[in-house]
Each structure stands twice: as structure tokens, then as C-alpha cells.
């Protein structure tokens, strides 16, 4: 039996941000041996206090892991962690599985998969939805690209971190679906913002629109969560606008590589960009509303 699939595989975790930390805590609670690394080492404190071992480099994490998780903020961060100085790829064990839960381009996922294969390891792109709340509650949803066999081996671990996973196809398929999903979320919230701007511009309270929305075919959980924030103008970051803006960029890059035009996504991205350019602090993507209400 492969070590990755053993009942208590040794787990590595690189990236201890808003998502990585609660994921790590859930793995420790479930009894897994966990080795971690983060660019800013201070972020590891809570995990170390809970029993994790702090490694000196991504490479050292990989050397210690049957299953290596990475969850960092963007493609350059993943490239640095994998191919940079003392990068994880240089330490990856034969037979291990690398699960990347960052949101990056499908092309980068395929490049990572090829690099893993060269070292006798397997790769899964497995970006998540559910946000900080889902990470804390162990209710993440994984969108997985890669071999079914590798997925089967890590399922016990995914079951600690989340409730559901979808096997969507070959390497890159997880990222492709993730980008498509974030495109939909960004356009839904952007559409609500345009609708609220129109309604309030006409002198009607935005609350009236939200009330009708909630009994309509357009109601959606994301709008239930974000509508009150748009109405109040409170944009403390849950899913930061800068990351949604990045994901829209990745979706547009993919569309432009494939020759698939995405006109509304392109328009919405520039609205998010406008707000990002004017923002002084970190904001939730609900702050797209600031294009109108400054």
C-alpha cells in the first residue's frame, strides 16, 4: 500500500493564511502528524502550539510528507514555493501526493503535475470553495483535477477538511471549474451592485430591492450573504477583492488563450479593478459597490 494512502499519512502544509491555518488545525484535531511552513513564520504559531512541526523551508516540508498540501495566494506565490530556493519540488518523496488548493491557472496546475511526475510523485489540483468559515468548520468543497487513484488515496484527508469533493477531469480541470465558479460569483455580486446602484440612483431604498430579490428566482446564498454588506457599505474582507480580481484575471487569461470571448466578465473585471485601484485597505469583493457609492 502506498504511504500516501495509509490510515495516518504524514501531512505537509505550505501556506498558513486565512484558509491554511484552520485547515491545519482540523488536520491536527483529526490526529494527523503535520509539518508546516509559511513565508511569514509568525503565522505558524497557533499551529505549532497545537502540535504542528515548523519546517525551515518548503523543501523540508515536502521531505517530511506523504501528502503535501499547498494553499497560497496566487500563481507567483505557488511558483516560488515549488520552484524557488529550497522549493518543495526538490524535496518531494517518490510515491507522495501533492494537493494544491491554491487558485491558479490550469496551465500552472499542469506544469506542477508534470514536475511532480518527474519526481515520481502525483499531483492533484484541488482548489476549494467555502471561505474561511468553511475552512474552520471543515465544510470546504474541493474541485479536483488529476487521477482518480490519487484522489481516492487522499479522500480520508479531504473528509477532515470538507464535506464534498468533485472529480472533474484531468490535471487542470479543478482549476478550470474553480475559475468558472468564481466568475459566476463575481458577476452575481457585481449584478446586485449594478441593480442597487440603479435603484438607489432612482431614489428608492436598496432594501426594497433586496426584499423582492429574496422571494425571486434570482435569490442565491451568495447574495443573501453579501446583500446586507452592500446595503451597509461594510466590506471587511471575507473573500478579499484583490483575490477575486486576480481570479477574474485568470479566467479572462484562460478565455483569451482558448479564444472564448467573455464580454460581461471583462466588463465586471474592470469594475473590480477600478475599486481595487482606489482602495486604501483590504476589502471584501462585495466592495465592488464602491464603484458607485464612494
Q: Kindly state whether residue 85 participates in binding a second copy, applying the rule CB under 8 A.
A: no
Q: Kindly state whether residue 274 participates in binding a second copy, applying the rule CB under 8 A.
A: yes
Interactions with a second copy, residue window 129-168 (CB under 8 A)? 129, 141, 143, 164, 166, 168
Query: What cell numbers appear for 176 in the block?
Result: 478550470
Stretch that binds a second copy, among 54-62, 74-82, 111-119, 249-257 (CB under 8 A): 249-257
Q: Kindly state whether residue 264 participates in binding a second copy, applying the rule CB under 8 A.
A: yes
Residue 282: which of 233, 239, 228, 247 has the closest Cα? 239
Give the active site residue among 8, 29, 163, 178. Answer: 178
Query: What cell numbers appear for 164 in the block?
Result: 464534498
Residue 91: which of 59, 124, 64, 122 has the closest Cα? 59
Out of 268, 283, 286, 287, the only residue in the binding site for a second copy (CB under 8 A) is 268
Our answer to whether residue 178 is catalytic in this structure is: yes
Out of 265, 283, 285, 287, the only residue in the binding site for a second copy (CB under 8 A) is 265
Residue 172 is given by DSSP the state T
Pick 1 or 277: Cβ nearer a second copy: 277
Give least dist CB 224 to a second copy, A: 9
Residues 6+ apart with CB under 8 A from 261: 255
Q: Kindly state whether residue 270 participates in binding a second copy, applying the rule CB under 8 A.
A: yes
Q: Kindly state whether residue 236 participates in binding a second copy, applying the rule CB under 8 A.
A: no
Q: How far is CA 274 from CA 107, 247, 251, 270, in A?
A: 27, 15, 18, 6
Q: Kindly state whether residue 289 participates in binding a second copy, applying the rule CB under 8 A.
A: no
Helical ranges in the chain per DSSP H: 20-29, 45-49, 58-63, 75-83, 106-118, 131-137, 148-161, 173-201, 206-214, 221-232, 241-258, 263-278
Residue 22: which of 42, 47, 41 has the closest Cα? 47
Q: Kindly state whether residue 231 participates in binding a second copy, applying the rule CB under 8 A.
A: no
Give least dist CB 273 to a second copy, A: 5
Please tell me the count of residues contacting a second copy according to CB under 8 A: 78
Displacement of CA 181 from its chain's centroid (Å)? 11
Secondary structure of 55-103 in the HEC alphabet? CCCHHHHHHCCCEEEECCCCHHHHHHHHHCCCCHHHHCCCCCEEEECCC
Interactions with a second copy, residue window 164-203 (CB under 8 A)? 164, 166, 168-169, 172-173, 176-177, 179-181, 183-185, 187-188, 190-192, 194-199, 201-203
Out of 51, 84, 156, 249, the only residue in the binding site for a second copy (CB under 8 A) is 249
Out of 204, 232, 234, 236, the only residue in the binding site for a second copy (CB under 8 A) is 204
Q: Kindly state whether residue 281 participates in binding a second copy, applying the rule CB under 8 A.
A: no
Displacement of CA 75 from its chain's centroid (Å)? 11
Pick 42 or 217: Cβ nearer a second copy: 217
Give the span between the Cα atoms of 57 and 232, in whole angstroms. 43
Catalytic positions are 178
Amino acid at each position: 500500500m502506498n504511504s500516501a494512502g495509509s490510515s495516518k499519512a504524514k501531512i505537509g502544509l505550505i501556506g498558513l493564511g486565512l484558509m491554511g491555518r484552520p485547515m491545519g488545525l482540523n488536520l491536527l484535531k483529526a490526529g494527523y502528524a503535520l509539518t508546516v511552513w509559511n513565508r511569514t513564520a509568525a503565522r505558524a504559531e497557533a499551529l505549532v502550539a497545537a502540535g504542528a512541526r515548523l519546517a525551515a523551508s518548503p523543501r523540508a516540508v515536502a521531505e517530511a510528507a506523504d501528502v503535501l498540501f499547498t494553499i497560497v495566494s496566487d500563481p507567483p506565490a505557488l511558483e516560488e514555493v515549488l520552484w524557488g530556493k529550497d522549493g518543495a519540488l526538490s524535496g518531494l518523496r517518490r510515491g507522495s501526493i501533492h494537493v494544491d488548493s491554491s487558485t491558479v491557472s490550469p496551465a500552472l496546475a499542469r506544469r506542477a503535475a508534470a514536475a511532480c511526475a518527474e519526481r515520481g510523485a502525483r499531483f492533484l489540483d484541488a482548489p476549494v470553495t467555502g471561505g474561511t468559515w468553511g475552512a474552520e468548520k471543515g465544510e470546504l468543497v474541493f474541485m479536483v483535477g488529476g487521477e482518480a487513484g490519487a484522489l481516492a488515496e487522499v479522500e480520508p484527508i479531504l473528509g477532515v477538511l470538507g464535506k464534498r469533493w468533485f472529480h472533474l477531469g484531468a490535471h487542470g480541470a479543478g482549476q478550470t471549474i474553480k475559475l468558472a465558479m468564481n466568475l459566476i460569483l463575481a458577476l452575481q455580486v457585481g449584478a446586485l451592485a449594478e441593480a442597487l446602484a440603479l435603484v438607489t440612483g432612482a431614489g428608492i431604498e436598496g432594501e426594497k430591492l433586496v426584499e423582492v430579490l429574496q422571494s425571486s428566482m434570482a435569490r442565491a446564498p451568495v447574495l443573501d450573504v453579501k446583500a446586507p454588506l452592500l446595503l451597509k457599505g461594510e466590506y471587511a474582507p471575507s473573500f478579499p477583492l484583490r483575490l477575486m480580481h486576480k481570479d477574474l484575471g485568470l479566467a479572462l487569461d484562460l478565455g483569451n488563450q482558448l479564444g472564448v470571448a467573455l464580454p460581461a466578465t471583462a466588463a465586471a473585471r474592470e469594475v473590480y479593478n477600478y475599486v481595487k485601484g482606489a482602495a486604501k485597505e483590504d476589502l471584501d469583493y462585495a466592495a465592488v459597490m464602491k464603484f458607485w457609492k464612494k
